[in-house]
Amino acid sequence: MASECHLPANTTVLKSWKDIANYLGCGIRTVQRYEHSSGLPVRRVPGRSRGAVFALADELEGWLHEDSNAGLSKTARLTASVQALRGSITDGTELRRQSRTLRMANLTALEKLTHTVALLLVALRN
């Protein structure tokens, strides 16, 4: 006795890798890769481990929508990272400016100290 599948009347069933790939607008290998790497909702025909597959268009649409939402959150994370990086660059630039100012002040103080020591040595010799 064959098992029967009851689907809503409006459901579009894509009955092969080629149909699924055409529906998504990409190649068969890309669709197979999406199944393994990104959880593309592809079903196997019962009783067959490889080869015969099918997918429901509504589930593919849901997968596409879910993936685009993940992309948006990924974009938001990348935007936040870029903004943080820009802030770090600004902070680094400010620290470099402060370091330059402190080096100049240190050199000036060292020159004054050298001059003062030279004057003291002259005074001690007299």
Query: In the numeric block, which tokens belong to residue 93?
Result: 């630039």
* Boundaries of every domain in the chain: 13-125
Query: What integer pLDDT is reported at residue 14 of this predicted model?
Result: 92
Q: Is the pLDDT of residue 1 over 50?
A: no
Q: How confident is the model at residue 31 (pLDDT cuts 50, 70, 90)?
A: confident
The answer to whether 42 and 53 have CB atoms below 8 angstroms apart is yes
Instruction: Give the pLDDT mean for 84-111.
Output: 93
Alpha-helical regions (H) of the chain: 17-24, 28-38, 57-125
pLDDT in tens, 105-114: 999 999 999 9
